Structure 1
Amino acid sequence: MSKIKSPLRYPGGKSRAIKQILPQIPVNIREYREPFFGGGSVFFAVKQLFGQQIKTYWINDLNYDLYCFWQYAQENIDLLVAKITEIKQKYDTGRELFQDLTREDLKLTDFEKAVRFFILNRITFSGTVDSGGYSQAAFTSRFTDSSIARLTQIAPLLASVKITNQDYEELLFAEGKEVFIFLDPPYYSATKSRLYGVRGNLHTSFDHQRFADNMRQCQAKWLITYDDCPEIRKLFDFAHIIEWNLQYGMNNYKQGAAASGRELMIKNYY
């Protein structure tokens, strides 16, 4: 049986890093938390590997539209799939669909925000949603009937999972036993890249010093993926740092192929 993967294309996502990340996760954990959930690639891999051994799962993201998507994927996936399918059948051209979904005068319900997020994730450059532009190639090859149908596979994995839209700090200091936290924050060297949120507001406003200070105080076991740069090495000089390389899935506009980048895995255990 093939593994179920995230239905989202996510800039900076960790789908290509699963084989490197999973061996770093402690075996004896009872609660899994992910404060910067994004596309959730690591969560889906962990859920299928550990299953019921982990008693509690808590996922979180500050992007409200993304939060709405995961909420409806959990609570009413059939309704979500039906509406997305209806919209796909209505539009012959992707650019018209993109323009309708990005009008500034839109007043949307949470359900409509969930629908909009998924569609824009499929038809924008590298899944950048509100931070990127329309991609005809993505509309043709990524927004397919099969990509919509695959949404139904994730609902069982989201069952009983706690889903929140809070500051990451809430997940660091909430009480729990044998807690493990996986964190994939906005990268330091890409702070000006505007990948997340409306015009990149969730990326450019991230406070790396505050984050490092919070992680120093966090008592749970944690693992962070970060870009390798002197500033991050200095901020986390109190933790165990592992170097590795990741093939990025997000191409630069001027690149013919995705770049390979130096990465860090930072953790507070051995």
Structure 2
Amino acid sequence: MRHNNPSAANCCKPQLCGFGDQQPNQTVAGKLVNKMSKIKSPLRYPGGKSRAIKQILPQIPVNIREYREPFFGGGSVFFAVKQLFGQQIKTYWINDLNYDLYCFWQCAQENIELLVAKITEIKQKYDNGRELFQDLTREDLKLTDFEKAVRFFILNRITFSGTVDSGGYSQAAFTSRFTDSSIARLTQIAPLLASVKITNQDYEELLFAEGKEVFIFLDPPYYSATKSRLYGVRGNLHTNFDHQRFADNMRQCQAKWLITYDDCPEIRNLFNFAHIIEWNLQYGMNNYKQGAAASGRELMIKNY
């Protein structure tokens, strides 16, 4: 179901490829990679790309006016790009179909102080993490958008691997992840979200909206993880993803784009029209039914 609820706003260069024939400034590019980002995403996000920033940044074009991210998730790549490029990129547009996650980012942008205050209040109220988890996952909850934002962050901190509605309670996470410092760090992200367009739409909207010198970074649900149920309520945002439709849309997209995907024959076949780069990623999180995080072969797919 698609949501586009503007009222929710009230809830509260590496060796880079340039557009056209202009060549990237190698010296500046090197400084960007070495600098890296100091402010990280405040979320623990399954399948997030926080460990892959050094591999992804060198693939991003230098001379872009607009940055779009249709599958925002935890936003690790966005935060790195925003800190490195800043106002050199004139427009930032981030999007996610998970409505509760959208509420979190929207409230973090519009009223971070109130968000932090409410989360802090709840943390001080609960000594028993399991009781907190049970209260936040009752089926009869009727929440405002602001309350959904608060709930999402807390569950992200106290569930196994930050899986929120698709995982289970973790005492270890409650003890070590839901800390005063993790809440305080939320205040760092508000300046980076200022003036950013935040939406809750189908990813297709970002592919075909008009714009000049647009670059789109996409981290869709992985093909081989359709049974892992990591995204949305009981994994509905992951298991229902149409990879064929996605590939067809990307073939038609005229903007420059970069996709991160799992390496499997099906994806290689779907994207045989694009440039495919193999690489390895050390996963920071796993399916909550699996064991320790592992290393896996990934693909970066691009049309430039």
Cα shift readout 1:31-64 (whole Å, capped 9, x = no counterpart): 0000000000000000001000000000000000
Whether 2:237 is the aligned partner of 1:199: answer no
Contact 2:167 2:288 survives alignment (8 Å): no
Structure 2 residue aligned with 1:238, among 273, 279, 287?
A: 273
Contact 2:39 2:189 survives alignment (8 Å): yes
Partners of 1:253 and 1:174 in 2: how far apart? Answer: 37
In 2 relative to 1, CA 208–45 (structure 1 residues): closer, same or farther, beyond 3 Å?
same
1:257, CA displacement in angstroms? 3.0
SS of 1:180's equivalent?
Answer: strand
Structure 1 residue aligned with 2:299, among 255, 264, 267?
A: 264
Partners of 1:266 and 1:138 in 2: how far apart? Answer: 34
Partners of 1:62 and 1:253 in 2: how far apart? Answer: 22
1:177, CA displacement in angstroms? 0.2
Contact 2:228 2:287 survives alignment (8 Å): no
TM-score, normalised relative to structure 1 = 0.98
1:252, CA displacement in angstroms? 5.0
State the partner residue of 2:118. Answer: 83
Cα shift readout 1:135-183 (whole Å, capped 9, x = no counterpart): 0000000000000000000000000000000000000000000000000
Structure 1 residue aligned with 2:106, among 71, 74, 84?
A: 71
SS of 1:146's equivalent?
Answer: helix
Q: Which moved more, 1:253-262 or 1:19-28?
A: 253-262
1:192, CA displacement in angstroms? 1.2
1:250, CA displacement in angstroms? 1.0
Partners of 1:135 and 1:244 in 2: how far apart? Answer: 32
State the partner residue of 2:15. Answer: none
Q: Which runs of 4+ in 1 moved over 6 A?
A: none
Cα shift readout 1:69-127 (whole Å, capped 9, x = no counterpart): 00000000000000000000000110000000000000000000000000000000000
1:251, CA displacement in angstroms? 3.5
Partners of 1:251 and 1:22 in 2: how far apart? Answer: 24
Partners of 2:288 and 2:91 in 1: how far apart? Answer: 40
1:254, CA displacement in angstroms? 6.7
Partners of 2:38 and 2:107 in 1: how far apart? Answer: 22
In 2 relative to 1, CA 159–261 (structure 1 residues): closer, same or farther, beyond 3 Å?
same
Contact 2:37 2:79 survives alignment (8 Å): no
Q: How does 1:152-191 map to 2 (within 5 A)?
A: 152-191=187-226
Partners of 1:253 and 1:50 in 2: how far apart? Answer: 35
SS of 1:129's equivalent?
Answer: coil
1:9, CA displacement in angstroms? 0.2
In 2 relative to 1, CA 186–251 (structure 1 residues): closer, same or farther, beyond 3 Å?
closer
Whether 2:12 is the aligned partner of 1:13: answer no
In 2 relative to 1, CA 255–128 (structure 1 residues): closer, same or farther, beyond 3 Å?
closer
SS of 1:86's equivalent?
Answer: helix
In 2 relative to 1, CA 237–125 (structure 1 residues): closer, same or farther, beyond 3 Å?
same
Name stretches of at least 5 consecutive residues in structure 2 with no aligned partner. Answer: 1-35
Contact 2:156 2:163 survives alignment (8 Å): yes
SS of 1:33's equivalent?
Answer: strand
In 2 relative to 1, CA 252–214 (structure 1 residues): closer, same or farther, beyond 3 Å?
closer
1:253, CA displacement in angstroms? 5.2
In 2 relative to 1, CA 138–26 (structure 1 residues): closer, same or farther, beyond 3 Å?
same
1:255, CA displacement in angstroms? 5.8
1:2, CA displacement in angstroms? 6.5
SS of 1:36's equivalent?
Answer: coil
Partners of 1:132 and 1:202 in 2: how far apart? Answer: 14
TM-score, normalised relative to structure 2 = 0.87
Partners of 2:266 and 2:246 in 1: how far apart? Answer: 13
In 2 relative to 1, CA 213–250 (structure 1 residues): closer, same or farther, beyond 3 Å?
same
Partners of 2:267 and 2:291 in 1: how far apart? Answer: 29
Cα shift readout 1:169-226 (whole Å, capped 9, x = no counterpart): 0000000000000000000000111000000000000000000000000000000000
Contact 2:37 2:80 survives alignment (8 Å): no
